[in-house]
Every structure is written in structure tokens, then in C-alpha cells.
Amino acid sequence: MDPIKNPFSPGAGSPPPELVGRDPALEQARILLGRIKNKRPEKSMLLTGLRGVGKTVLLNEIEQLAIREGFRTIFIEAHENIALGPLIFPYLRTLLFDLDRMAGMSHKVKRGLAVLRSFIGTIKMTLGSEVTIGIDIEPERGSADSGDLEIDLPNLFVAIGEAAEERKSAVAILIDEVQYFSQKELGALIVAMHKIQQRQLPILLLGAGLPLLQGLAGEAKSYAERLFSFPDIGALSQEEAAIALKEPAQAVGVHFDSAALEEIFRLTKGYPYFLQEWGYQAWNIAESSPVTLQTIQKATAAVIRRLDQNFFRVRFDRLTPSEKNFLRAMAQLGPSPQRIGDVADILNNKTASLSPVRAKLIKKGMIFSPAYGDMAFTVPLFDEFMVRVMPEWPLIPNIMV
Ligand SMILES: Nc1ncnc2c1ncn2[C@@H]1O[C@H](COP(=O)(O)OP(=O)(O)OP(=O)(O)O)[C@@H](O)[C@H]1O
Ligand SMILES: [Mg+2]
């Protein structure tokens, strides 16, 4: 069928033709936005879920909701190795400039800029000269310039919250990939939101990250649970997965046979990214409507090849040989959560000597701990990929120390 008309959209953050199964999270966000606007306390949201479940897409959707509700928004993406301060600084500067341009003089906005100026002063000191300040205002000495992020970020957020409040405005800070912040940065963010909540200032935080985020937040500050809710963004049910495929196709007059839908669900387990990939390839391979089971079977080989070359491969290529061995051993045990002792047995090794490898894999966002002592893949179907890519077992001998 005509690839130009193909409605499916596999890709990182690509909006799906139909956002299925996310009404509860969207409703929760709508309530949160409404309550913050009305100065009522509400827990901020940190969406958590595996790779490719649709967190970024949902966060973008929530940003649109916030804009419609009259919020000013900031959308940032955390990275491994980029510090929170320099990352967030340019966005906060733009925000304050926007507030400054509104009619009438505002002391709180000017103060916000002065505090931001002093905040970036300390970061500039630690990072060198590559941070451009671009704020033509004297720094407010003694505010947000202690050099301790847990003190400075809350002070900065309060100054910005007061500026927004004076402008009768509200601010939504959206952060993707929150798990990449260091414990110190996450702690500072939590303390900052704590202070904002105590002062009832119009700032809210909406974040997204891998499932380990909830644990990281709890470790950073034990009261994180009381400040944030952690909606679990997961795979779609069979019924929802069918809707995600059927509805966009129907809109252009194409039908899926029920056997085709069942087969896609069996293969994708309802993971949104995979649904888009299978939908996309099946569309291009199908001669005409309806899309049949045979079409899906033909599409599957193409999809797996594509996933193996891209989605899975980029992650695999970032692994060291011992990390590959570790994940291959996990895959040998199957898709469910595994215990490190069982992985150690397979590798003929001791649990203690595997701990550093496990820690690195957690840091890289490849595995997480769904329950104490358990480990699971953050990438759905990664176990099947590991078996495909390292069929000979063990493939990399004498690597595991
Ligand atoms: N509710 C949904 N229904 C159908 N498809 C969806 C849904 N949500 C997301 N998708 C599709 O899933 C894919 C992945 O979405 P997205 O990039 O938002 O995932 P993610 O959770 O942010 O992944 P990562 O952890 O790798 O950043 C996209 O192709 C998107 O179109
Ligand atoms: Mg994402």
C-alpha cells in the first residue's frame, strides 16, 4: 500500500497516530495543572516505564495540555554527563525574559533574573567559561550562589516562582530522562519542589524516566514519595493494542484481520514502539486491504531486521564485552526478572565479582531492579535480541573477571 499514506510512526518521541491507553495519566496531569493554577497542593508527576512505551510522547502531550491551560512551559532532556545547572539555565533565562517583557514593571521578575545571574556565576566557576550568561543585571549576592546545588536550586526556584506569581502566571517544568541526573541533582530538584510546595508557588514538575527513577528519587530524599506520584506507563492491553493499529488504518479505509492483530500482539506484547514498527512495515508490505496474518508473517522478518540494526543495536554497541556476557546470561534465563546469583551460576562466577558489571548496566539504563535483588531489562524484548545477536553461548570467553 502507498507508503506516503502510511499512518504509523515508529521513532523516538514520534507522536503516534492514536494515543491509546493513556487517559488515566492525562487525567491525572489535567487535575495537577488545574490544582497548581488554583494554588492547591498536588503531587508532581514522574512518569516511569521501559524504553519505547511512550513516555516522551506522553510528556509532549502533557506539555500541550499545560500550554492550553495557560502555563509557561520548559521542556528539557537530561543526558548522562550534562549537569543540571547549565542544562536548565538557558530555559530559565528565556522564561524570566518572557515574564520581564510583560506589561508593567515587576520587582520579582528583576529579582528572579538577579538570582539566576548569581546561580550561574557559581556554575561558571566550576565549569569554566563555556557558559554564556547573557543577563545584563547585577547578581544578587548571597542568593543561590553557595555552590551547593541543594541550597541554590531551591532558592532559584522560589525566586522564579515568586516572579511567575507576581505576573499571575504559572510554570510547568517538563524533564525527560530524569534518571540521568546524579543523586545530588535529583536531591536538589526534590528539595526545590518541596520548597515550592510549602510556599504554594505556581511551579510544577512533570518528569519521565526509566523504572529505576522511583528508587533513585527515594534514595536521594526519603520524602520524595510524598511529593511525587510515579504513574507506571506500560505496555498496552490486547484490546488497546488492537485500537492503536485498527483506528489509524480505518481512518484511511484500511482494515486489519483479527488474526493479524492477534499475531502482532503476540510478537509485540503490546509495547507501543513495536506496535508502530509492525504496523508500519505491514502497511508497506500489504498489497491491499485487509492486512492479513500472512502479511504480518512477511512483515515480521523485516521488522526484526530493522530493530536488530537500529533500536537494539545502538544499545548493544554501547556495551563492554563483560556487560554483553552478563546480559546474554540474563537472556539465557528468560524475559522475566532474574537474580544475580542465577546469572553468576550461568557464568560460573561469584555474585560479588559481578556486582560492578551490574552497577554499570544500571547506570547505563540497560537493566533495573523491579524488586529487591531482582534485575530486569529496561528494553522490552531485549532478551530475545541478545539470543539472536549472540547465538553461540558463551560468545566472548575469558572476559568475565
Ligand atoms: N499510547 C500509544 N499508543 C500507540 N503508540 C504509541 C503510544 N505511545 C507511544 N507510541 C509510539 O511508541 C514509540 C515510542 O514512543 P516514545 O519515544 O515516547 O517512548 P519512550 O518511552 O519515551 O521511549 P524511550 O525510553 O526510549 O525514550 C513512538 O513510535 C510512538 O509513536
Ligand atoms: Mg523517551
Q: What is the pLDDT of residue 235?
A: 95
Q: What is the pLDDT of residue 397?
A: 58
Cell of 232: 507506571
Closest CA to 13 of 54, 63, 62, 61: 54
Residue 274 CB–ligand 1 contact under 6 Å: no
Q: What is the pLDDT of residue 139?
A: 84
Which residues lie below 8 Å from residue 148, measured CB to CB, with a gap of 6+?
A: none
Q: What is the pLDDT of residue 102?
A: 87
Q: What is the pLDDT of residue 191?
A: 97
Domain boundaries, the chain: 23-229, 237-309, 313-389
Distance between CA 75 and CA 88 in Å, rounded? 9
| Atom from ligand 1 closest to the CA of residue 15 | 31
C-alpha of residue 54 to centroid of ligand 1, in Å:
3
| Atom from ligand 1 closest to the CA of residue 177 | 27
CATH 1.10.10.10 fits 313-389, yes or no: yes
Whether residue 7 contacts residue 276, with contact meaning beta carbons closer than 8 Å, is answered with no
Residue 272 CB–ligand 1 contact under 6 Å: yes
Residues flanking ion ligand 2, Cβ below 5 Å? 56
Q: What is the pLDDT of residue 269?
A: 92
Residue 7 CB–ligand 1 contact under 6 Å: no
Name the residue of 57, 368, 382 to mutate for ligand 1: max ligand atoms within 8 A of Cβ.
57
pLDDT along the chain (401 residues), means of 10: 95 94 97 94 94 97 97 95 91 95 88 93 65 76 88 96 96 97 95 95 96 92 94 97 97 96 95 96 96 96 93 94 94 93 91 93 91 91 94 66 45
C-alpha of residue 232 to centroid of ligand 2, in Å:
14
* CATH number of this structure's domain 23-229, picked from the four choices 3.30.70.580, 3.40.50.300, 3.40.50.720, 3.30.300.180: 3.40.50.300
Distance between CA 263 and CA 250 in Å, rounded? 19
Q: What fold characterizes domain 237-309? A: Helicase, Ruva Protein; domain 3 (1.10.8)
Residue nearest to atom 12 of ligand 1 (CA): 273
Q: Classify strands 72-77 and 228-229 as parallel, antiparallel or unpaired.
A: unpaired
> Whats the size of the chain, residue-wise?
401
